[in-house]
Structure 1
């Protein structure tokens, strides 16, 4: 444990410096600090680069993101979630279904992509980005090159949506609830969803996070479904509870536990304020690290075909889900 901490410390210091710089620049230039944090990470990794000795520390960004999401539960209550919960769940289910079926249809019938690659792209776009790609890839025994390729496509689309969604939200003057739910049901990965949500407003960030966590929980259902499909066709698909448990986003359970505590009135106003401040800093650390994972050179090498498949499906699901959200929320 001590050796692991020592290896991660230099990179963690870089995340801390980036977080402080993002907050300082935000007050000067008037741009949201979370988006600046991502931008600083992207600038670092695509200019001077991140040395290997810093990688163990910068790679901890998923830990800080998970911790921030768990603590975010302190600012919510069960009543606030239930208020529009059923409508959001229906919208989420419909969007996931449309996205998965659209990617599968275009990949197989239009783009002519290999069947397993199309399934990986569908899972990544429909559920939770790279985590879903890895979970489904293990269940259907996809080649490592296909898993890596699908993960790259997810990162490319993530990079685009981080820029586009805030612009659309500001142009259409979307409310916090509508923007948060829209981002949560239609964007790909958890990190970008949380980032653009809180870049819009506190309310949008909360709803974006809750909606995305509910969507992430479907990873087991989708992984089992794909594994069963390929197994029935004699294609060597298989999965196990161990695989699903390894890829299930466990911080969802922590988030729900803290929501229950907050609903029971465990946290005083001063404690909630301190927790909210901790959440802000944890997200800053996470998004600096997230930015260091976005390498422009890697995105260029992905190729246009699979990226267009996912992007087309996402635009369709995004437009439809936004129209429904505006109508019912």
Structure 2
């Protein structure tokens, strides 16, 4: 019964993936960005039929699966060689983003305290996933969750377009562009998309950097829950809650990377896994495009968007400056 309910939407994702791949070959444009554009156009013109929604909603599962399989193309030696500085930058930029949003929200723009915290988590860690995780810990109101999530999605849509342009104008290397996207963009899907739109190297570094940033979600949830618990407006998260919120595909990605680096997989097997990962990303990004709705973006209002924009400008400028000095 569940399979029958999901099948129509899954078939729609497959069709979208094939169309995006075909259009990319014809027009010479990146197939992953075309997949997002295709989903965006459909949802904002004819709309997504209700019977397709359950299957299309599985796009997050395909994104996680694609990231896991991408581990087969990662060299652990390369990660260890430059991983320390990159992880330090991830922590520094995440902390900077959270701090800037909190300060602007509370002092300059006088936003409700919990709305500011949701915006800070979404900006600093992993987009809508962080908004939802922190919302549960601080007992934010539903309208605050929706407002913060819509604001994050607005900037996901903007950065998907702007980051590749900046990368081309500045002629950034694959490593610099990938790490920059991973430390400063918001949600995992757009980060992976723009990374691979630049180059395979950029895609790999963007994904690895973003995964390490996503892993900070537990720390942020604990910090916010503790703060609001002391203020009498929240509750301390349990270990089960933290495990439920942790992005588990990170573990699969790391495990496959270790296996591939140990030489267990043949070149043919690695190529097959990389190809499968690419198709899974196509499925995921068609679905991601359907989540970018113009009506929702228009409803966000200017103030939260201004707060997040200022924080994004600070974090992206600082991180890119550091990367250009280091690399």
1:317 aligns with 2:315: yes
What's the offset of the Cα at 1:235?
A: 2.6
1:265 aligns with 2:263: yes
Q: In the TM superposition, what whole-angstrom CA distance separates every residue of 1:91-124 from its partner, at most 9, and x where no partner exists?
A: 1111111100000000010111000000000000
The partner residue of 1:177 within 146, 168, 175 is 175
In structure 1, the residue matched to 2:273 is 275
In structure 2, the residue matched to 1:63 is 61
The partner residue of 1:164 within 162, 165, 185 is 162
Structure 2, unmatched stretches of 5+, are: none
In structure 1, the residue matched to 2:3 is 5
The partner residue of 2:47 within 46, 49, 55 is 49
What's the offset of the Cα at 1:77?
A: 2.1
Retained in 2: the 8 A contact 1:41–1:290? yes
Retained in 1: the 8 A contact 2:75–2:261? yes
SS of residue paired to 1:83: helix
| Higher mean C-alpha deviation, range 227-236 or range 14-23 | 227-236
Take 1:109 and 1:32, find their aligned partners in 2: how far apart are those partners?
A: 42
Alignment length (residue pairs): 327
In structure 2, the residue matched to 1:37 is 35
In structure 2, the residue matched to 1:298 is 296
| Higher mean C-alpha deviation, range 140-149 or range 316-325 | 140-149
Take 1:248 and 1:153, find their aligned partners in 2: how far apart are those partners?
A: 22
In structure 2, the residue matched to 1:236 is 234
Q: In the TM superposition, what whole-angstrom CA distance separates every residue of 1:200-232 from its partner, at most 9, and x where no partner exists?
A: 000000000000000000000000001111112
The TM-score normalised by the length of structure 2 is 0.99
In structure 2, the residue matched to 1:106 is 104
In structure 1, the residue matched to 2:196 is 198
Retained in 2: the 8 A contact 1:135–1:243? no
Q: CA RMSD in A?
A: 0.8
SS of residue paired to 1:84: helix
Retained in 1: the 8 A contact 2:137–2:234? no
What's the offset of the Cα at 1:90?
A: 1.2
Take 1:147 and 1:246, find their aligned partners in 2: how far apart are those partners?
A: 19
What's the offset of the Cα at 1:234?
A: 2.5
The TM-score normalised by the length of structure 1 is 0.98
Take 1:256 and 1:128, find their aligned partners in 2: how far apart are those partners?
A: 18
Q: In the TM superposition, what whole-angstrom CA distance separates every residue of 1:142-191 from its partner, at most 9, and x where no partner exists?
A: 11111111111111110000000000001100000000000000000000
Structure 1, unmatched stretches of 5+, are: none
| Higher mean C-alpha deviation, range 195-204 or range 234-243 | 234-243
